[in-house]
Structure 1
């Protein structure tokens, strides 16, 4: 993006609108992929759970065409989304997902091991419930794109808190 874009309101608004549209489309794709993974039938119900897409295949469908790699962490996050979707498939899905994430954080009381344990439980539950487990998730798969994003977020957080490494 060009330097000083934030000083040109009309151009900045175009960028903001484009990003908002792209995120809306991505959220729609995720929700449709989750619904499709449950193999909906004509009467409004879903196929038997053993016929659902397993979490690995669902996650592959969601990241297709992106720079993301399928890994255990991403599968666990998608498993949480599917769990919430099964209870709240309508327009409140994203709000309910936010509430569920807040609940996980609150129950963990800042302990990342507790957060990890919660996501591990959700992933195991999904693997046992949806589709055949015909895959092995490699816990050592590293998504370099996500690592870069995480590093930028961490650097921004440190900067905001006055904890920069070069200070």
Structure 2
């Protein structure tokens, strides 16, 4: 016989008691009163009602709908404007600006930005074309001579001397407009001026060497001077540095001796080409050895003294400007010796001053266009 506390009847009674206790602990939640939605007959949007206007505006719309600046803010801004020394009409415009709502103020600011953009465009359009100023031309002349008289120069013709002069101008910013390297037309004008000044400098150097001969223009012949009548190397070097900041150094005398040696062999149209080829040959023989290169230039100096007059040359220290040019050339053309190649000699165009020099008709006005 089963106990009264273990039979089905007890189980049912316990379940019923538990269910009744759970129901007594539940707090009824009152339902919100129903309200009929009133439709706005004047609204064109179906289903719109008055409740939608109770929803707060998003932050962006709230900022756009902001009203004029407060009185304190207006006074503070006006005082700041006076410190900036704005004109009276500008202060009036500022007051009107502060009294506008934020949307209008932002619209005015954007309009002013567009107007400023138009003004800048007009200024750029009205800028005159670049022209080489007298000061810039003077600097180019000075740097061109310094480059041609540098013992570090790998070749006298071609793009390399032009690049060296441009690098010096760019380093010092010598009367150059900002960003000129990004304007193709302006760079073309500047490059043409550099080429012209290098041509004039080469012509001057060649005239200094060619005075070892006397041109008989009347009979159209060239008379060779006796060796005793030649300028010695020191006197010739003085002609090269006259009017420049260069000084007579051992390295410069070596270059001048090489020029005279090449000129005696070929004073005609291919003089500068032969001179560049001689430098290439000397670098090939030296194989990168500075001692070997210096020995070759020293031999040229001694040979020049034997042919054109023995003289004790008083060497000077390098001028600061020339030293700067030498260092810059040495840095920018470190691999020029290994990449330079021998160029073929081509006949110059008609009227080339090298030909005029060879014929004795160049004179002081001759311009070397063999560049």
Normalised by the length of structure 1, the TM-score is 0.85
CA distance in 2, matches of 1:154, 1:48: 39
Q: Does the Cα contact within 8 Å between 1:85 and 1:93 map onto a contact in 2? A: yes
The match for 1:161 is: none
CA distance in 2, matches of 1:22, 1:105: 27
Q: Does the Cα contact within 8 Å between 2:283 and 2:293 map onto a contact in 1? A: yes
Q: Does the Cα contact within 8 Å between 1:77 and 1:119 map onto a contact in 2? A: yes
Match of 1:18 among 169, 189, 193: 193
Offset from partner CA, 1:76-119 (integer Å, 9 cap, x none) = 10100000010010110011011111111111111110000000
Match of 2:214 among 18, 40, 44: 40
The reply on whether 1:144 has 2:320 as its aligned counterpart is yes
Superposition map of 1:90-101 within 5 A: 90-101=268-279
Segments of 5+ residues of structure 1 without an aligned counterpart are: 159-167
SS of equivalent to 1:68: coil
The match for 2:329 is: 153
Q: Does the Cα contact within 8 Å between 1:39 and 1:51 map onto a contact in 2? A: no
Give the CA deviation at 1:62: 1.6
Q: Does the Cα contact within 8 Å between 1:50 and 1:132 map onto a contact in 2? A: no
The match for 1:111 is: 289
The reply on whether 1:76 has 2:216 as its aligned counterpart is no
CA distance in 1, matches of 2:248, 2:180: 34
Give the CA deviation at 1:3: 2.3
Q: Does the Cα contact within 8 Å between 1:33 and 1:58 map onto a contact in 2? A: yes
Number of residue pairs aligned between Structure 1 and Structure 2: 155
Q: Which is worse superposed, 5-14 or 85-94?
A: 5-14
Q: Which is worse superposed, 89-98 or 65-74?
A: 65-74
Higher relative contact order (CA 8 A, sep 6+): 1
Give the CA deviation at 1:155: 4.3
Give the CA deviation at 1:2: 2.3
Higher helix residue share = 1
The match for 2:354 is: none
SS of equivalent to 1:53: coil
Give the CA deviation at 1:49: 1.1
Segments of 5+ residues of structure 2 without an aligned counterpart are: 1-175, 335-371
Offset from partner CA, 1:100-149 (integer Å, 9 cap, x none) = 1111111111111000000000011101111352x4332x6233222111
The reply on whether 1:51 has 2:226 as its aligned counterpart is no
Give the CA deviation at 1:157: 5.8
CA distance in 1, matches of 2:332, 2:310: 41
Which is greater in Rg?
2
RMSD of aligned C-alpha atoms?
Answer: 1.8
